Structure 1
Amino acid sequence: MSSTSRVRELNLYRRYFDLVAASAKSIEVRVKYPHLADLTAGDVIRFHIKGTDETCEVEVKRVTEYVGFEALLDGEGPSTVDPTATRDEQLAGIRAIYPPEKEALGAMAIEIQLLG
């Protein structure tokens, strides 16, 4: 981690946290919220599981924007987002977290690499 990298604090559900911590998940999916718009390669994300003190840190390798979640899964490949679920299962899961008005903001594929 360079001295110029920024650390972002983001929450993650247990299931996805475990995949990140095991280096099984290389793409994190987020909505393009204003506070994430300047996320860039070299930044560090510290993922938390809400209600616990568990964390893991990843380095952002790349950020790619998509118009929506289907385009993101097609562009990145579902196995990079969640190797344990089918594309349709992932799409349903992502949309359960982010309703249509959030998806309308745009989708971000954040390529991550576990630190430490």
Structure 2
Amino acid sequence: MTTYTASSYLWLGDYEQARHHAERAVRSHDSTPAGQRSLSREAIAHLDLGIALAHLGAPDEAIAYGLRALSSPRMVTSVHARAGRPGHRPGCEIPRKQTGGGVSGGPGSNAGRNGIMSETDATLAARELRIRKPYFDLIASGIKTVEVRVAYASMRKIQPGQDLDFVCGEERLPTRVVRVSQYASFEEMLEQEDPIAIGGDLGKNPQELLAVIRSIYPPEKERLGVLAIGVEKVIL
């Protein structure tokens, strides 16, 4: 059932929850004896995880999971269909990695604030991050000025001065990165950063905020390192 849960969250555009449930599905399949596995569901779990990671700004990991899914010995129609239109939902298309480096908003996308540009197009390529509605609203209100992410290789490329669009469904909020701080753990990060600037009222209880963050990112992700990305809204 975890596989179907991840697929449902993809359709809803909640990529953090989709990632969480897809990772659980992958771990479940990996721990199942070979003769008892459903290879088609295993492939779908890998595709779902790849789609979620792509939307969360980790294209290299997304590609790895996608290739693992496509190497499945049981490529049923549903797997082919998902691979052909990954993560399709109204108003939501997955970013695609370009051969020239960086990430693009898709075929025919223009360099500029409406998409993610290749790093060859600008010194600091514009980026976009998908985010849940409550946190999107906190950034829009000016309360949340720090976005917390795991230090995937692609996320570590974000630099001060870079344009960063937060996206939630059809809504888009332009911001600019003012600083990027890296920490060894979420706990260390919360000791140095303002919890309210991260989670609004939730930050009034740092331990509760820590628990929420760790419910999103499992320990193996936290071990990659933690980024606190300071942002300011851009008035267009």
Aligned to 1:89, the other structure's residue is in SS state helix
Match of 2:221 among 93, 102, 105: 102
Question: Which residue in the other structure is 2:198 paired with?
Answer: 81
Name the stretch that deviates more: 101-110 or 85-94. 85-94
Distance 1:33 1:4 in 2: 20
Per the TM alignment, residue 88 of structure 1 is displaced from its structure 2 partner at its CA by 1.4
Aligned residues: 112
Distance 2:141 2:123 in 1: 27
Residue type of the alignment partner of 2:146: I
Given the alignment of the two structures, is residue 71 of structure 1 paired with residue 188 of structure 2, yes or no? yes
Per the TM alignment, residue 83 of structure 1 is displaced from its structure 2 partner at its CA by 2.4
Question: Which residue in the other structure is 1:115 paired with?
Answer: 234
Distance 1:44 1:96 in 2: 28
Q: Which has the higher contact order (CA 8 A, sep 6+)?
A: 1
Per the TM alignment, residue 9 of structure 1 is displaced from its structure 2 partner at its CA by 1.3
Given the alignment of the two structures, is residue 57 of structure 1 paired with residue 174 of structure 2, yes or no? yes
Given the alignment of the two structures, is residue 22 of structure 1 paired with residue 22 of structure 2, yes or no? no
- TM-score after normalising by structure 2: 0.46
Question: Which residue in the other structure is 1:13 paired with?
Answer: 132
Conserved 8 A contact 2:164-2:176: yes
Q: Give the number of the structure whose residues are more often strand, by fraction.
A: 1
- TM-score after normalising by structure 1: 0.91
Distance 1:46 1:109 in 2: 16
* Deviation sequence 1:30-81 (CA, Å, 0-9, x none): 00001111111001111111xx211101100000000010111111121221
Per the TM alignment, residue 4 of structure 1 is displaced from its structure 2 partner at its CA by 4.3
Aligned to 2:201, the other structure's residue is in SS state coil
Identity of aligned residues (%): 38
| Alignment RMSD (CA, Å) | 1.2
Conserved 8 A contact 2:124-2:159: no
Question: Which residue in the other structure is 1:91 paired with?
Answer: 210
